[in-house]
Amino acid sequence: MNKAIEEAMKALEAAIPKAQADPDRPVFHMLPPAQWCNDPNGPVYHNGYYHIFYQHCPFGDTPGQGRWQMYWGHARSKDLVRWEHLPIAIWPSNDLGENGCWSGTAAIRDDGVPFIIYTSVGPNKNAKDASEHWAATGDPELITWKKHPANPVLSHKAHKDVKIEDWRDPFIFREGKKWYMVIGGHRVGGKGCITLYSSDDLEKWEFLGIPFEGTEDNWEVPNLFKLGSKWVLTYSPYSTIKYYTGDFDLKTLKFKPEYQGTVDFSPNFYAMNCFQLEKGRRVLIAWIGAWENGFKPGRGWAGCMSLPRELSILPSGQLVQKPIGEFSKLRAKHYDGLHSLQSLQSLQSQNINTLEIQAEIEGESWEMKLGTLEDGGKLAIACSGKEIDVLGTKIPLEKPGKTFELHMFLDRTVLEILINGVSCTKVVYLKNLKHEFSGNFKKIDAWKIKSIW
Q: Which residue, 153, 149, 158, 69, is CA-closest to 107?
A: 153
Q: What is the pLDDT of residue 341?
A: 44
pLDDT, tens digit, 9 for 90 and up, residues 347-376: 666 667 999 999 999 999 999 998 899 999
Radius of gyration of the chain, Cα coordinates, nearest whole angstrom: 22
Counting beta carbons within 10 angstroms of the beta carbon of residue 16, is it exposed (0 to 12), middle (13 to 18) or buried (19 or more)? Answer: middle
Question: What does the pLDDT look like over 396-411, one tens digit per residue?
Answer: 988 778 899 999 999 9
DSSP state at residue 193:
E
- How confident is residue 434, by pLDDT bands cut at 50, 70 and 90? confident
* Neighbour count for residue 117 (Cβ, 10 Å): 28
Q: Is the dihedral of CA 33, 288, 7, 141 positive or negative?
A: positive
Q: Report the C-alpha gap between 174 and 154 in whole angstroms.
A: 18
Query: Which of the residue ranges 107-121, 277-291, 311-325, 406-420 would you say has the lowest mean pLDDT?
Result: 277-291
CB-CB contact of 303 with 295 (8 Å)? yes
Count of CB atoms situated within 10 Å of the CB of 26: 24
pTM as predicted: 0.96
pLDDT at 349: 60
CA distance 110 to 95: 31
Structural contact between residues 255 and 244, judged by C-beta atoms closer than 8 angstroms: yes
Q: State how far the Cα of 242 lies from the Cα of 219, in Å rounded to an integer.
A: 10
Q: Give dist(CA 379, CA 415) in Å, integer.
A: 10
Average pLDDT over residues 279-298: 91
Query: Can you give the residue ranges of every domain in the chain?
Result: 3-21+29-323, 326-449
Pairing of β 220-227 and β 145-147: unpaired
What architecture (CATH level 2) is domain 326-449?
Sandwich (2.60)
What is the rounded CA–CA span in Å between residue 400 and residue 383?
A: 10
Alpha helices in 3-103 (DSSP H): 3-20
Distance CA 225, CA 78 (A): 23
Q: Each residue of 327-353: pLDDT tens digit?
A: 999 999 888 765 444 455 556 666 679
Q: Is 24 exposed, middle or buried (0-12, 13-18, 19+ CB in 10 A)?
A: middle
Average the pLDDT over 103-119 and give the result: 98
Question: Do 73 and 83 touch, CB atoms closer than 8 A?
Answer: no
Mean pLDDT is lowest, of 150-159, 214-223, 291-300, for 291-300
Q: Specify whether the CB–CB gap between 133 and 168 falls below 8 A.
A: no
Note the Cα 369 to chain centre separation in Å. 27
**Residues above pLDDT 70, as percent of the chain:** 97
Task: Give the number of other Cβ atoms within 10 Å of residue 394's Cβ.
Answer: 12
Mean pLDDT of the chain: 95
Number of residues assigned to the chain: 453
What are 313's strand-pairing partners? 319
pLDDT at 400: 74
Closest CA to 134 of 88, 101, 108: 101
The answer to which of 18-27, 305-314, 433-442 has the lowest mean pLDDT is 433-442
Phi, psi (degrees; rounded to nearest 5) at 318: -70, 135
CB atoms inside a 10 Å sphere around CB 374: 11
What's the maximum distance between 2 C-alpha atoms anywhere in the chain? 70
Q: Give the mean model confidence (pLDDT) for residues 370-397.
A: 93
pLDDT tens digits, 56-83: 999 999 998 889 999 999 999 999 999 9
As its CATH architecture, domain 3-21+29-323 has 5 Propeller (2.115)
Q: From the centroid of its chain, how far is CA 274? A: 8
Q: Average pLDDT for residues 90-118, to the nearest whole number? A: 98
